[in-house]
A and B are shown apart, each in its own frame.
Chain A
């Protein structure tokens, strides 16, 4: 299997087969919290793609060139979380100054993801799976795309169930969770693909 095929497999597997929300349960907070409208869900998805891709790159560079040579691999949790937290703040400041138009559309969502478990989880997964830097970036991008797919579909469904006649007891997060369960069931169908 060539290196390129490997990259494609990583992308498909992280985006669809092992969907970050629906089969790994990471990033549930924004998935349940920001999925009321399709536009906001898409905005959130954009911000997540942006942050996770950059965070995967930075964390894997740090692991490869700083932690691994010095034998500090066990510090990865502490280092990654601090780097990610700082990175999100930095990205926010940078966007505000350099690309104000992008900041206007993504800015509100950026602080939300500061220590989202999906970001940290992806960084740690990259290390556990021994991905090199390019593979990490692809994996991060795939994870984020998977998140965006899930949250946008969820928002679409929620816009519709708004008008449905749901039993009083199940209104609110109960029905959302059960909907997520049905979506997860659908995504289980991809499990044989790779």
Chain B
């Protein structure tokens, strides 16, 4: 139970996908024109994330390691299709305002990232809580950016007009440039927070997504490191034959987490290349 709670807190706070890891930037920029849209997108992503995490974790011993990426994609895409239909049926207005970004949940870095780095190595229940934590963290992030942009751009919050701002809103913030600028300032604020946290000796986990200067965080762009979608057979022969079914030993996660929390030099300072590549993390684990 303690572990489950820890997963929730981890997603919501310690490794918040929007503020700390900076993952899933496409939907973050695109749908946050208003707070309601942010919540809608966040919750639909959460639903997909929880379901796909559970399914992938349940299937983790069946899916062959070599074709795990295509398998994950099929699982995620199926759930996205279901969510898409449910939204079309029950919340048609939200469905039309989110538009193309609903099917694009499939390629959201957060979902495949969690599938690869957590769900494929852990039992169903913790994976579910990991999904809930990460999903809610993403929802909070989107809602926050949505509120900021709605107040600045439209003079309202959650579709309720703020009287004092009637004549003082800047329409630009509701449009595309506003999204970039608000996110730019958010990154700047997070840079300050990072430096403060580092100064008191509690560095935040490194930025993982597109903003890290490479696409290391997107699991699919493990391609960045020269790997292809269908993973070639690894030559390592596991010592214990039982481990054959489990592609990656569980210890790997601990290694990753310690690497995340311990390595101050890895913590993103100014968008320099802090890579999330597997080799990097493994190398650090070995040093330990």
Q: A interface vs B, CB < 8 Å?
A: 22-33, 36, 74-78, 81-82, 85, 88-89, 92, 111-112, 114-117, 120-121, 124-125, 128, 168-178, 180-182, 184-185, 187-188
Other-chain residue from B78, B109, B181 in contact with A177 (beta carbon distance below 8 A): B181
Contact between A173 and B26 (Cβ–Cβ < 8 Å)? no
Can you report 22 A-B residue pairs in the complex whose CB atoms are below 8 A from each other? A25-B29, A29-B109, A29-B215, A31-B210, A36-B213, A77-B80, A77-B84, A78-B81, A82-B77, A89-B230, A111-B227, A114-B221, A117-B107, A124-B103, A170-B191, A172-B187, A174-B188, A175-B184, A181-B177, A181-B178, A181-B180, A182-B177
Please report the C-alpha to C-alpha distance between residue A174 and residue B210 in the assembled complex, in whole angstroms: 12
The reply to whether B74 and A78 contact each other, CB–CB distance below 8 Å, is yes
Q: Is B25 among interface residues, defined by CB-CB distance under 8 A?
A: yes
Nearest CB of chain A from residue B163's CB, rounded to whole Å? 29
Do A174 and B177 form a contact, CB below 8 Å, given A29-B209, A82-B70?
no
- Of B77, B180, B270, which one neighbours A77 at CB under 8 angstroms? B77
Partner of B100, one of A30, A128, A175, A181: A128
Please state if B70 and A85 are interface contacts (CB–CB under 8 Å): yes
Query: Is B214 on the interface with A (CB-CB < 8 A)?
Result: yes
Number of A-B contacts (CB under 8 A): 164
Interface residues of B in 27-48 (CB under 8 A from A): 29-30
- Contact residues of B between 157 and 210, Cβ < 8 Å to A: 172, 175-181, 183-185, 187-188, 191-192, 207, 209-210
Chain B residues with CB under 8 Å of A172's CB are 187, 191, 213, 268-272
* Cβ–Cβ < 8 Å partners of B218 in chain A: 29
Interface string of B1-31 (1 = CB under 8 A from A): 0000000000000000000001001100110
Interface of A is mostly: helix
Quick one: which of B26, B81, B181, B269 contacts A28, CB cutoff 8 A?
A: B26
A185, B106: Cβ atoms closer than 8 Å:
no
Chain A hits for B224, CB < 8 A: 111-112
- Given the interface pairs A82-B73, A115-B220, the reply to whether A26 lies near B180 with Cβ below 8 Å is no
Q: How close is A156's CB to chain B, nearest CB, in angstroms?
A: 17
Q: Are A85 and B106 in contact (CB under 8 A)?
A: no
B229: Cβ under 8 A from any A Cβ = yes
Q: What chain A residues lie within 8 Å of B230 (beta carbons)?
A: 89
